[in-house]
Structure 1
């Protein structure tokens, strides 16, 4: 059932992505704005307590609706709808296509703006930051992280990860605080395993040897030496291992080769994401089929 809901949601996302108004994070932003209007205590918004205050209501709402649904077909539609709303807010391939068009047209300002937008969100240590690495992190945050949580915990998992992944940016808008740091920690905990699964998927979709080599090099990185280092290391593993997956065997068989230019590399990022998604869906299908067969 979850696999069918996943396929349906992914198909709808591709179709709706053609609409200009689609892809705006309206629901979560509206919820936070409404909460700010109701909870007018500055100390609360600087306290870690605001994180469960914002996180638990959407989870409770989805759980309550799920309990009221009796028809399996309605449950399927509801699961697909929740997943659809948790993906994105924009498909990474659409943003990369816009960046490629801006570069082809020589629109430097638009290309620079799009590149900065792709680099928003969780970041590894400065020594591991790059635009390509940021795209793989965005791919995880917009797609793979949500899908993994959805497959394990259903709609509740998708809502929980989507909300937890967006809260840090919203709370950091008020400046550094205990609330923002706690949101970062919660996000890091929820992403710790899924991010590594995503890195492995990109390795399987590309050059696994190079991805594992980049991953193993991070094991000797002193990144985890401070309190927040373990969080940055998660994103470093994802950025570096996934970027390593871009390497392919050279035409002369003499070793790994990267795409010939930056535009080709952008195309390869989209291609690698699509192949990694197919691998993930294949795993979903394998486990879903096993669960279905064991039910007899």
Structure 2
């Protein structure tokens, strides 16, 4: 049943590109923000507890629907629910579509369009140097393939649609927490710069200003703590899929180079679980590509070739995963 639902879900995910905007689920941002506000009221709690409670709250409706309707119509309802939940758990955008948009932007040679297309893949700051940007995009394709696709498939196979949705929920919470913390930091920096430029000798409001600054610092500190907790929770769920994805890159690409990159020692002792996983995927994925610069190749051609090669690596690994999952189903390891 899971294999059938997975295959149907992946086919729909490849074909129904016009419905990808549904998977952004912006309406959940208000619920997540409300949960963050409630977390401020229990600031003395470990920040991971409110994040877990919020994740459980968002998972509960899907669990209730599957529990109540999953066994009706001889299991057909469960199959339908599994396909729908899987579709909304993947993404939110298709890696292949993002790569196509990035390649078109490179060919247009419009710097702003290239920057926006690269930022959609990197999901962070994009280097200004063209060659550094090309490398960052290739690494990010390998990283985001795990976040958008392989980790979802992993949790779907072992825990069904509920597992896939739970992983997607942690990703939604993480993204929103990172966005809110970044926005609060920018706002705080703007306020600080404004106050420094308009200092006054009015001592009457000095105590009130200090109390406001203290309260703002507490709110910002709580937002950062919630962000770190959300990132940590998502990193835990992505840890095993990231290792399996890295092994898959080795199998789908240049094996020797990828294994050497996987075994290479790193000096990132202070990195978080998420950072370790992302660095591993970026390192092994680009090693599996084993791309070399050509003397007669422009930076645009190099960027297109690298992005297409990275997307091809992801697709080949997806085929490998499909074969392995099919074998597991045939031998009774999954249902």
What TM-score, normalized to structure 2? Answer: 0.75
Matches within 5 A, 1:24-173: 24-27=22-25, 29-36=26-33, 40-41=37-38, 43-44=40-41, 47-68=47-68, 69-70=70-71, 71-120=74-123, 130-173=136-179
* Aligned equivalents of 1:232, 1:200: Cα separation in 2: 18
- Number of residue equivalences: 272
* Aligned equivalents of 2:42, 2:226: Cα separation in 1: 7
Deviations 1:266-285 (A, max 9, x none): 11111111110000011100
Instruction: Give the equivalent residue in structure 1 for 2:314.
Output: 273
SS of alignment partner, residue 261 of structure 1 = helix
Q: Is the 8 A contact 2:8 2:83 kept in 1?
A: yes
SS of alignment partner, residue 222 of structure 1 = coil
SS of alignment partner, residue 285 of structure 1 = helix
TM-superposed deviation, 1:31: 2.2
TM-superposed deviation, 1:45: 8.7
TM-superposed deviation, 1:24: 4.7
Q: Is the 8 A contact 2:32 2:176 kept in 1?
A: no
Q: Is the 8 A contact 1:49 1:179 kept in 2?
A: no
Q: Is the 8 A contact 2:24 2:92 kept in 1?
A: no
Residues 234, 2 of structure 1: alpha-carbon distance in 2 compared, 3 angstrom cutoff: same
Among 241, 245, 248, the residue aligned to 1:198: 245
- Structure with more of its chain in helix, by fraction: 2
Instruction: Give the equivalent residue in structure 2 for 1:241.
Output: 284
* Aligned equivalents of 2:284, 2:6: Cα separation in 1: 26
* Aligned equivalents of 1:7, 1:160: Cα separation in 2: 20
TM-superposed deviation, 1:23: 3.2
SS of alignment partner, residue 154 of structure 1 = helix
- List runs of 5+ in structure 2 lacking aligned partners: 126-134, 182-222, 293-300
TM-superposed deviation, 1:44: 4.3
* Aligned equivalents of 1:276, 1:197: Cα separation in 2: 10
Q: Is the 8 A contact 1:66 1:75 kept in 2?
A: yes
* Aligned equivalents of 2:273, 2:60: Cα separation in 1: 30
TM-superposed deviation, 1:104: 1.2
Residues 178, 91 of structure 1: alpha-carbon distance in 2 compared, 3 angstrom cutoff: same
* Aligned equivalents of 1:132, 1:145: Cα separation in 2: 19
Residues 22, 45 of structure 1: alpha-carbon distance in 2 compared, 3 angstrom cutoff: farther
Q: Is the 8 A contact 2:143 2:281 kept in 1?
A: yes
Residues 49, 95 of structure 1: alpha-carbon distance in 2 compared, 3 angstrom cutoff: same
Matches within 5 A, 1:224-239: 225-226=269-270, 228-239=271-282
TM-superposed deviation, 1:77: 1.0
TM-superposed deviation, 1:262: 2.2
What TM-score, normalized to structure 1? Answer: 0.84
Instruction: Give the equivalent residue in structure 2 for 1:174.
Output: 180
Residues 24, 137 of structure 1: alpha-carbon distance in 2 compared, 3 angstrom cutoff: farther
Greater relative contact order structure (CA < 8 Å, 6+ sep)? 2
Q: Is the 8 A contact 1:45 1:179 kept in 2?
A: no
Residues 204, 150 of structure 1: alpha-carbon distance in 2 compared, 3 angstrom cutoff: same
Q: Is the 8 A contact 1:32 1:54 kept in 2?
A: no
CA RMSD for the aligned pairs?
Answer: 2.6
* Aligned equivalents of 2:167, 2:42: Cα separation in 1: 20
* Aligned equivalents of 2:161, 2:41: Cα separation in 1: 28
Deviations 1:179-207 (A, max 9, x none): 11111111111111100101111111111
